[in-house]
Structure 1
Amino acid sequence: MEDERSRRRTARGENRLPPALAVVAALVVYVLLPSSLPFLGRFVIPGVEALLLVALIVTNPRRITRQTRWSRTISIGLAVLVIVSNLLSLGLLIAELSNNAPSGENLLVGAMQIWVTNVIGFALLFWEMDRGGPVARRNMPRLNMPAADWRFSQDENQDTVPEVRRSSSELSGWVPVFIDFLYLSVTNSSAFSPTDTMPLTSRAKVLMAIQATAALLVSLLLVARAVGSLGG
């Protein structure tokens, strides 16, 4: 049984397409912002992110089956760059509200961009952090895998009814993929707190707190101000 579960988990590496599309979406949203909004390096930062993405695709074009120290460093650096540039943009846009406030339409577009990029950036970082990253989650025996940063519902479903139990981590060999971390990021940015996936480590809690705080500022300051300007 253990050999069968291991084969199911390690047979193929994770698909490169979902995380790559997420990065491309963040780049496109950033570049297409209204020119009146004060954003950092409108083309420089996306250009650097695009180069990092190309380097990662060259390493694992279709399936993420191998990992080197530099490829993991680049992948984590790409996620951190997306997050930091987005948080700096959020700070600049909030500061701009006290000077020459952008129009309601532009401000609403900017708020949407920051929220979407916030979701994508943290999803990428969560995906790279948990249990050693996508390659370790697929290839390492569970006893040797780094400690989990998050507990997903599949990690505790082994004691439920048979049709749910079959998809549990213990019975099926399930491990989280990028879509699972994207959902975690969306719910944390929407509810400003954990929902069905719980943080287990201090670093996971700190990152989720930063993400939720940024999303809350977008909702309370930017979206509220934009809606008020449109109403006026």
Structure 2
Amino acid sequence: MTDDGPRAERRWTASAFVVVSMAVPFLLPARYSPGTDWLLPAIEGTVLVALIIVDPGRIDRPGRWVRALSLALVAAIATGAAWGAGRLVWDLLHGNPDTTVANELLVSGALIWLQTIIAFAFLYWELDDGGPVNRHLHPRQHPDLAFPQQLDPRLAAPGWRPIFFDYLYLALTNATAFSPTDVMPLARWVKLAMATQSLLSIVVLSLVVANAVNLLG
């Protein structure tokens, strides 16, 4: 790549949302975290520090260990989100004294919903076209996710590539619209992931809102 070509994505945006993901378990009741409320945040923080050390600044260093660390970080974030969402749904379906206060239920539901959005954002970001490093060094002709700028090059500068914030927006809109909006899933794994996120979001939001309205009524 020449010096005037597109540069690799900076790590700070994704790192900031790793920190947000690490903070969520400490704002939730302990039962919404596997093990203890500090276990997954400690793992996420350790992996994040390791990634910053081996690939600081811009995300442009290929390698098996860097890729393994990136996937481990996504797995830890996804595990926390899956556990929290699963436990919340279980509590709401089977009853739990801690979910009988409307305000606390709404706060817990919002935090868990946010946690799932961040988890799916990292999933899309790390798996789409092999991850940010591969998108920078070896962009594919046929992407897993088609952003508007890729479908119509007139909408962006030459060499445009999605960064973490674009995947975060994708995860947010998919969780609220329950369907693709401006980003089209092309690969089957993306369709499965987006369908799973939509269904999970429908279940969490509908159960939380229904139970909160019942408690307030």
* TM-score normalised by structure 2 residue count: 0.89
Which aligned pairs between 1:60-71 and structure 2 lie closer than 5 A? 60-71=55-66
The reply to whether residue 181 of structure 1 matches residue 179 of structure 2 is no
- In the alignment, the residues of structure 2 paired with residue 94 and residue 177 of structure 1 have an alpha-carbon distance, to the nearest angstrom, of 32
Give the counterpart of 2:121 among 120, 123, 129.
123
Deviation at 1:166, TM superposition (A): 5.4
- 2: CA distance, partners of 1:146 / 1:68: 22
Aligned to 2:5: 8
The 2-side partners of 1:38 and 1:78 are apart by: 19
Give the gaps of 5 or more residues in structure 2: none
**Are the structure 2 counterparts of residues 47 and 29 from structure 1 closer, same or farther at C-alpha, using a change threshold of 3 Å?**
same
Answer whether contact 2:149 2:155 (CA < 8 A) is retained.
Answer: no
**Structure 1 consecutive aligned stretches of length 4 or more whose deviation exceeds 3 Å:** none
Q: Identity over the aligned pairs, expressed in percent?
A: 38
| Equivalent of 1:43 in 17, 34, 38 | 38
Indicate whether 1:167 and 2:161 are aligned. no
Note if 1:76 corresponds to 2:71: yes
**If the length of structure 1 is used for normalisation, what is the TM-score?**
0.84
**Pair 93,69 (structure 1): closer, same or farther in 2 beyond 3 Å:** same
Q: Which amino acid aligns with 1:47?
A: A
Read off the aligned partner of 1:51 and give its amino acid letter: T
In structure 2, the partner of 1:162 is none
Task: Give 1:137 deviation, angstroms.
Answer: 1.4
Uncovered stretches (5+) of structure 1, i.e. residues with no partner: 159-164
Pair 1:154 & 2:149 matched: yes
Quote the offset at 1:226 in angstroms: 2.2
- Structure 1 pair 32–147 and aligned structure 2 pair: CA distance change class (3 A): same
| Cα separation, 1, equivalents of 2:205 and 2:26 | 22
Q: In the TM superposition, what is the alpha-carbon distance from 1:67 to its structure 2 partner?
A: 2.4
1:197 Cα offset (Å): 0.3
Instruction: Please give the per-residue CA displacement for 1:88-122, whole angstroms capped at 9, x wherever unaligned.
Output: 22121222232324221221111111111111111
Partner of 2:112: 114
Using the TM superposition, give the Cα deviation of residue 222 of structure 1 relative to its aligned residue in structure 2, in angstroms.
Answer: 1.6
Aligned residues: 213
CA contact (8 A) 2:43 2:76 kept: no
- Going from structure 1 to structure 2, the CA distance change for 1:227 and 1:57 (only over 3 Å counts) comes to farther
Structure with bigger gyration radius: 1
Q: Could you report, residue by residue, the CA deviation over 1:172-197 in whole angstroms, capped at 9, with x for unpaired residues?
A: 11111111111111111111110010
Deviation at 1:147, TM superposition (A): 4.2
Please give the alpha-carbon distance, in whole angstroms, between the structure 2 residues aligned to 1:125 and 1:166.
Answer: 25
Query: What does 1:178-217 correspond to in 2, within 5 Å?
Result: 178-217=164-203
| 1:120 counterpart letter in structure 2 | I
